[in-house]
Structure 1
Amino acid sequence: MRNRWAILAILFFVRLTIAFQFQSVAAVAPLLETTFGVGLADIGILIGLYFTPGVVLALPGGAIGRTLGDRPTTIAALLLMTAGSLVMAATDVWGWQLAGRLASGAGGVLLTVQLTKMCTDWFTGKEIATAMAIFVNSWPAGVGISLLVLPSIGITYGAGTVFLAAAALTAIGIVLIMLYQPPPGATASATGSARLDPLALLALIVAGAIWGLYNIGFAMVFSFGPSLLAERGWSIAAAGSAISVVMWLSVISVPAGGYLADRFKRPFILAVAASLVVAALLAWLTRSDAVITILVLIGLIGGHPAGPIMSLAARVLAPETRAIGMGVFYTIFYAAMMLGPAVAGRLAKSAGTAAAALDLGALTVLACPPLMWLFERIVSVRHRRTQS
């Protein structure tokens, strides 16, 4: 298979399995609280635990992918994700839930790093912002599907069946990834030096921080949004359906943002403007009864920065540094995503309301524009030095 858009479709679905599995906890959080006798702080830890392996595995994950190859690495990652979900489905002990979540997250880390590198291989210099926006769109699609189907499954059949559904989806991903082929010349181009120059490394750290902070803000909506609405008297199913509006509208706004960035060549302005609006909407959500209106606006606007942000790393990476560079990018991203939900859960517990978590999300999104400016400055300095 050599059509890059067909390849992108495969990568889209396989990455969707990560989002679906990640959201399997938050989608039925009130049910898990009842089943295991835990609180919001514990749920926040379980959500954030999915990203914990990324802090130590993302960087070596890039090296593993470079050594073993794209397809073997992705298959191994999917098998690990499947095993983690099966552990969570088979036990009613909270400690084993944590262990299964860690195993799933480890697989998710390896898969995320490798899939991003594979997408970059196929689209660098060819509609990269559009392709990355579509690729990233697999996340809201997977979260949206989970919010629609998993609460009903959990209520009807129990929490274990929710995790079985996640395992089944990752198994389908294994079948699909067998169809993947690398782009012509990718193997040869990746055999050079994999060392990153200092400014490229710094730029990747900043880019990873931007993506992590923005995702913390977005994750607060679907991680703690259902609990916020449940506090206001919504049923679990109704709360999940309402929050899923954000995800489904993001399916439109994410690729739209990538297209606009490629079309008008103003990704920085687009990402900054959208981030400021999303921060304001998150703060408004906790202080207003116009829930559906705000969720619709977040969905329509919140996806626009995704493509431009995800294309940042490609600007400082050559083919031979992509695997290790994506490892650096995702190490920072996973560190942020590990801490974000856990801190948010603690804040929600202290404040006695999930609204505190969404307020934290507003602040993290607000931090992105100045970091985007810093990234542009680093890239500009690096370009001048390489030209001199």
Structure 2
Amino acid sequence: MRNRWGILAILFVVRLTIAFQFQSVAAVAPLLQQTFGVGLADIGILIGLYFTPGVVLALPGGAIGRRFGDKPTTIAALLLMTAGSLVMATTDVWGWQMAGRLTSGAGGVLLTVQLTKMGTDWFAGKEIATAMAIFVNSWPAGVAISLLVLPAIGTAYGAGAVFAATGTLTVIGIVLITLYQPPPGAKVGASSSGRLDLLALLAVIVAGTIWGLYNVGFAMIFSFGPSLLAERGWSIAAAGSAISVVMWLSVISVPSGGYLADRGRPFVLTIAASLVVAALLAWLTRSDAVLTILVLIGMVGGFPAGPIMSLAARVLAPETRAIGMGVFYTLFYAAMMLGPAIAGRLAKSAGTAAAALDLGALAVLACPPLMWLFERIVSVRVRHAQS
């Protein structure tokens, strides 16, 4: 297949498997608490474990992709995700649940880095914000599907069936990725220079931090939102359906944000949307107007996704793209590993999941000043290049 939008559709569905698998724990968190006799802090750790391998694998993950190629690396990653799901589906020991989660997360790391690089290869310099917005839209789509499907599966058949379902989806991803073809002229040899200049490296570090913090804020909604609503008397299925409203609306707001960014002012759009989302997250824990707030978050929260994801592409050349995406995702995974674990501890200490949502609001609030810093670094780099 050589049509870039067709390629994007394949990447979208394959990346959706990561979100579906990640959300499998949070979607049935109350069920896991009952089955294994664990608390919110343990659930937070299990959620965060999915991103733990990213701290050490994201950077070499880019090099692995350069060495072995796009398709072999993505297939290996999907096999790791499948193996992790099978472990979690077949054990009733909490320690093995954690081991399976780590194995799945390792595959998710390699897959995320490689798919992002593959998408950027096809769209760099041509509607990149729109393409990246559609690409990252696979995350809310996968989360929304899991919130609708997995609680029902878990309630009817138990936690093992939930993880078996995630493994089945990753097998489908393996079949789909065999259809991928690289763009003409995109192949970069393993011996090619992949060294980033200092300012490009700093810009990518800041971009990765922005993406990590914004996702920490968003993750608090679907990671601890169901538990927050359960505290208020909602059933597991009803809580999952309500939280999924954010994800379904994000399916619209994420590509809309990318489209607007490609045709307007992405910097202003990202900052304005981040401030609104931070305010809504803080309001969610202090109001009974749950559905109204969730609808507003879904309508606005997706706007910054495409612009933020396209930041790294502004400073990465084809030969530095794999290693640059590795750096970008190292920061992202560090934030996403620590965020849920810290949030779980705060929720346990406060005696309510609301503390996790408040942490998410603070994380999103940190994004606007970091956006300003990124723009400053890029402007300095441009001046140096012109001098």
TM range (shorter): over 0.9
Q: How does 1:34-113 map to 2 (within 5 A)?
A: 34-113=34-113
Q: Moved runs in structure 1, 4+ residues, more than 6 A?
A: none
Aligned counterpart, 1:366: 365
What corresponds to 2:296 in structure 1? 297
Partners of 2:152 and 2:281 lie apart in 1 by: 27
Once the two structures are superposed, what CA deviation does each residue of 1:31-73 show, in whole Å capped at 9, x if it has no partner?
0000000000000000000000000000000000000000000
SS in 1 for 2:38: coil
3-state SS of 1:131 partner: helix
1:190/1:319 contact within 8 Å kept: no
Alignment partner, residue 19 of structure 2: 19
Match of 2:168 in 1: 168
Q: How far apart are the structure 1 equivalents of 2:67 and 2:386? A: 32
Distance 1:330 1:387 in 2: 29
Q: Is 2:220–2:356's contact at 8 Å kept on the other side of the alignment?
A: yes
Aligned to 1:184: 184
Distance in 2 of aligned mates of 1:221 and 1:381: 37
TM-superposed deviation, 1:126: 1.0
User: Are the counterparts in 2 of residues 189 and 319 from structure 1 also a CA contact under 8 Å?
Assistant: no
Letter matched to residue 360 of structure 1: L
Distance 1:125 1:321 in 2: 15
Give 1:156's aligned amino acid: A
2:287 maps to what in 1? 288
Distance 2:216 2:238 in 1: 23
What secondary structure, in the 3-state scheme, does the structure 2 residue paired with 1:199 have? helix
Distance verdict in 2 for CA 1:81–1:175, change over 3 Å: same
1:158 equivalenced with 2:151 (yes/no) = no
Alignment correspondent of 2:331: 332
Partner of 2:351: 352
Deviations along 1:316-355, one digit per CA (max 9) or x if unpaired, are 0000000000000000000000000000000000000000
- Map 1:210-249; keep pairs closer than 5 Å: 210-249=210-249
Per-residue deviation at 1:296?
A: 0.1
1:192 Cα deviation after fit: 3.2
Residue of structure 1 equivalent to 2:322: 323
Q: Helix, strand or coil for the counterpart of 1:187?
A: coil
Q: Tell me the amino acid that sits aligned with residue 257 of structure 1.
A: G
Q: 2: distance between equivalents of 1:320 and 1:50? A: 29
What's the TM-score once normalised by structure 2's chain length?
Answer: 0.99
- Distance between the aligned counterparts of 1:181 and 1:191, measured in 2? 22
Determine the structure 2 residue equivalent to 1:386: 385
Identity among equivalent positions (%) equals 87
Work out the CA distance in 1 between the residues paired with 2:13 and 2:188: 27
The offset of 1:193, in angstroms, is 1.2
Aligned residue in 1 for 2:33: 33
Q: In 1, distance between residues paired with 2:187 and 2:364?
A: 37
Once residues 148 and 338 of structure 1 are traced to their aligned partners in structure 2, the CA distance between those partners, rounded to angstroms, is 25
CA distance in 2, matches of 1:118, 1:276: 31
In structure 1, distance between residues paired with 2:228 and 2:13 = 30
What is the rounded CA distance, in whole Å, between the counterparts of 2:197 and 2:188 in structure 1? 21
Give 1:188 shift: 4.7
Matching residue of 2:197: 197
Distance 1:87 1:355 in 2: 32
Asked if the contact 1:11–1:119 (Cα under 8 Å) also holds between the matched residues in 2, the reply is: yes
Deviations 1:272-328 (A, max 9, x none): 000000000000000000000000000000000000000000000000000000000
* Counterpart-to-counterpart distance in 2, 1:35 and 1:188: 49
Say whether the 8 Å CA contact 1:190–1:321 is kept in structure 2. no
The residue type equivalent to 2:382 in the other structure is H
For 2:188 and 2:105, the matched residues in 1 are separated by 31
| CA distance in 2: counterparts of 1:284 and 1:187, whole angstroms | 48
Q: Structure 1 CA distance, aligned partners of 2:171 and 2:189? A: 31
Residue equivalent to 2:271: 272
Runs of 5+ unmatched residues, structure 1: none
Q: Which residue of 2 aligns with 1:148?
A: 148
Q: Alpha carbons of 1:188 and 1:347: their partners in 2 closer, same or farther (altered >3 Å)?
A: closer
- Give the deviation of 1:190 after TM superposition: 7.7
TM-score by length of 1: 0.99
Alpha-carbon displacement from aligned partner over 1:335-376 (angstroms, at most 9, x marks no partner): 000000000000000000000000000000000000000000
**1:310 counterpart residue number:** 309
Structure 2 gap segments, 5+ residues each: none
Question: Aligned partners of 1:171, 1:243: CA distance in 2, in Å?
Answer: 27
Checking the alignment, whether the CA contact within 8 Å between 1:50 and 1:106 is kept in structure 2 is yes
Relative to structure 1, the CA distance from residue 179 to residue 8 in structure 2 (aligned partners, 3 Å threshold; closer, same or farther) is same
Contact 1:190 1:320 in 2 (8 A): no
Distance of 1:127 and 1:251 partners within structure 2: 18
Distance 1:189 1:334 in 2: 27
How far residue 263 of structure 1 moved from its aligned partner, in angstroms, is 1.5
1:342 aligns with 341
